[in-house]
């Protein structure tokens, strides 16, 4: 991925650099080690914890007023309208949620996150791309462990495909005793709806459940210096380190409407979690399962973001927004469409191109062969050019 400067010869479309991103909700290897040390110091009990109190039988001859407090009799929860909706959601979907451990070639765990099964018959599950990436580069980890809610560990895990631009990855496990979560149409969920998030907080606190509401839809948030995630669902449900890749569930329907991926912990912010919309997850996962990768459309140019100085040099108003073409790649769609160096592209279809709407984001859901209309300025005059997109290199 590249910034806003010119692209080296032979490459396709450059990507302007977005602002500083919020924190991902995955957890790295160093944090895993610290957690392991802390939990290990607590004692050699299941899960690394020790009980702080022990339940004992009450004495038979306890004086009046000095005995233990009585324990309430168990209540029978009646299924249906009177039942606890959140409990019903957890009981229904917890078996679909997994912990994903990302390992180095020597077997050391380098990071951890969450995921959930989307196809029980074929053993497909989804997680975030940043969960399965190496900590120090953008390559995938050497191997992965998948831990289910019942503590079943699966090591026969295959990476089917991943897409850094939407932060979606697909893994496959043997299709044995699996249960899948249903992906809802994320366009249907109203703002204000009750949602449930499930994941492995801090990489160790497996099966953590939090609740909140859908705070907003259609958010656009930078994840890294080169990746801007589009059409995110904002929620105030607690999204912690290690929750990356876990489901955000619409409580009313018990369907997944998002994949938890980012949390903003800047000073003064609270309850700012973000999930990749389920419609994006479905579309990307389908294509990764089919092709193993995502092929996106490309124009075939090198360019830079138009600055006021560059606009002045071209005798354009200082407020003109767009990109300035610095190179036309030989044989590219841009060459075939007759684009020229120093052309300014202001719109792709009807979307204005500017610092907050870079070419990479506008072309995110396009594919090679798609037709687009470019609005350009050449020699001070505006015109439109029809172009058939090629394939990004």
> Would strands 351-352 and 23-24 be described as parallel, antiparallel, or unpaired?
unpaired
| pLDDT, tens digit (0-9, with 9 covering 90-100), for 345-367 | 999 999 999 877 888 888 888 99
* Other CB atoms within 10 A of residue 166 CB: 27
129 close to 163: Cβ distance less than 8 angstroms:
yes
pLDDT band at 73 (very low <50, low <70, confident <90, very high): low
Give the residue among 144, 149, 150 at the shortest CA–CA distance from 131. 144
- In this model, does residue 157 exceed pLDDT 80? yes
CA angle at residue 208 from 202 to 210, to 5 degrees? 110
Backbone angles phi, psi at 375, to 5 degrees: -100, 120
Q: CB burial class (10 A; 0-12, 13-18, 19+) of residue 169? A: buried
User: Band of the pLDDT at 224, cuts 50, 70, 90?
Assistant: confident
**Confidence at residue 359, expressed as pLDDT on a 0 to 100 scale:** 87
Architecture of domain 297-391: Roll (2.30)
Provide the pairing of β-strand 273-277 with 228-235: antiparallel
Q: In this structure, are residues 276 and 259 in contact, taking their beta carbons and an 8 Å threshold?
A: yes
Task: Select from 356, 353, 296, 362 the least CA-distant residue to 325.
Answer: 353
Q: What are phi and psi of 47, to 5 degrees?
A: 80, 0
Average pLDDT over residues 255-269: 82
Cα 375 to chain centroid, rounded = 32
pTM: 0.73
Per-residue confidence (pLDDT) for residue 225, from 0 to 100:
73
Fold annotation for 21-44+83-293: Thrombin, subunit H (2.40.10)
Residues with active-site annotation: 130, 167, 244
* Parts of the chain belonging to CATH 2.40.10.120: 21-44+83-293
Does residue 354 contact residue 296 with C-beta atoms inside 8 Å?
Answer: no
Query: What pLDDT is recorded for position 59?
Result: 45
Is residue 333 within 8 Å of residue 299, measured between CB atoms? yes
Q: Which of 3-12, 86-95, 173-182, 368-377 has the lowest mean pLDDT?
A: 3-12
337 Cβ contact list (under 8 Å, min separation 6)? 374, 385, 386, 387, 388
Which segments of the chain belong to CATH 2.30.42.10?
A: 297-391
In terms of C-beta density within 10 A (0-12 exposed, 13-18 middle, 19 or more buried), how is residue 10 classed?
A: exposed
Question: What's the maximum distance between 2 C-alpha atoms anywhere in the chain?
Answer: 100
Lowest-pLDDT range of 49-53, 141-145, 250-254, 295-299? 49-53
Q: In whole angstroms, what is the distance from residue 137 CA to residue 10 CA?
A: 23
Which range among 193-197, 238-242, 308-312, 320-324 shows the weakest confidence by mean pLDDT? Answer: 238-242
Give the C-alpha separation, 261 to 68, whole Å. Answer: 45
> Is the per-residue pLDDT at 288 higher than 60?
yes
Contact criterion met (CB below 8 Å) for 22 and 268: no
């Amino acid at each position: 991925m590249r910034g806003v400067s010119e692209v080296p010869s032979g490459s396709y479309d450059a990507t302007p650099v977005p602002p500083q991103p919020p924190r991902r909700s995955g957890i790295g290897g160093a944090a895993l080690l610290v957690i392991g040390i802390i939990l290990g110091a607590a004692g050699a009990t299941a899960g690394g914890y020790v009980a702080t109190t022990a339940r004992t039988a009450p004495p038979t001859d306890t004086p009046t007023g000095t005995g233990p407090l009585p324990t309430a009799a168990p209540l029978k929860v009646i299924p249906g309208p009177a039942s606890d909706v959140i409990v019903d959601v957890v009981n229904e979907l917890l078996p679909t949620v997994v912990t994903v451990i990302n390992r180095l070639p020597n077997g050391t765990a380098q990071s951890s996150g969450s995921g959930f099964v989307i196809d029980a018959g074929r053993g497909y599950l989804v997680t975030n791309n940043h969960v399965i990436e190496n900590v120090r580069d953008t390559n995938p980890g050497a191997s992965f462990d998948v831990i289910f809610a019942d503590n079943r560990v699966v090591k026969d895990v295959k990476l089917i495909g991943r897409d850094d631009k939407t932060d979606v990855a697909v893994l496959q496990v043997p299709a044995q005793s699996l249960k899948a979560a249903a992906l809802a149409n994320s366009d249907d969920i109203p703002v204000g709806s009750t949602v449930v998030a499930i994941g492995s907080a801090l990489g160790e606190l497996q099966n953590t459940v939090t609740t909140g509401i859908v705070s907003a839809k259609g958010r656009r948030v930078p994840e890294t210096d080169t990746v801007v995630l589009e059409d995110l669902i904002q929620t105030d449900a607690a999204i912690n380190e290690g929750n990356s890749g876990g489901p955000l569930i619409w409580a009313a329907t018990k369907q997944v409407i998002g994949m938890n991926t980012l949390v903003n912990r800047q000073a003064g912010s609270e309850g700012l979690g973000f999930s990749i919309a389920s419609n994006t997850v479905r579309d990307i996962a389908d294509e990764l399962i089919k092709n193993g990768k995502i092929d996106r459309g490309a124009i075939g140019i090198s360019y830079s973001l138009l600055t006021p100085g560059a606009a002045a040099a071209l005798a354009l108003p200082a407020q003109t927004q767009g990109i300035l073409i610095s190179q036309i790649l030989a044989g590219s769609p841009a060459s075939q469409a007759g684009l020229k160096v120093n052309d300014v592209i202001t719109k792709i279809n009807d979307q204005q191109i500017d610092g907050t709407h870079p070419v990479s984001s506008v072309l995110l859901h396009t594919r090679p062969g798609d037709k687009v209309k470019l609005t350009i300025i050449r020699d001070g005059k505006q015109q439109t050019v029809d172009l058939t997109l090629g394939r990004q290199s």
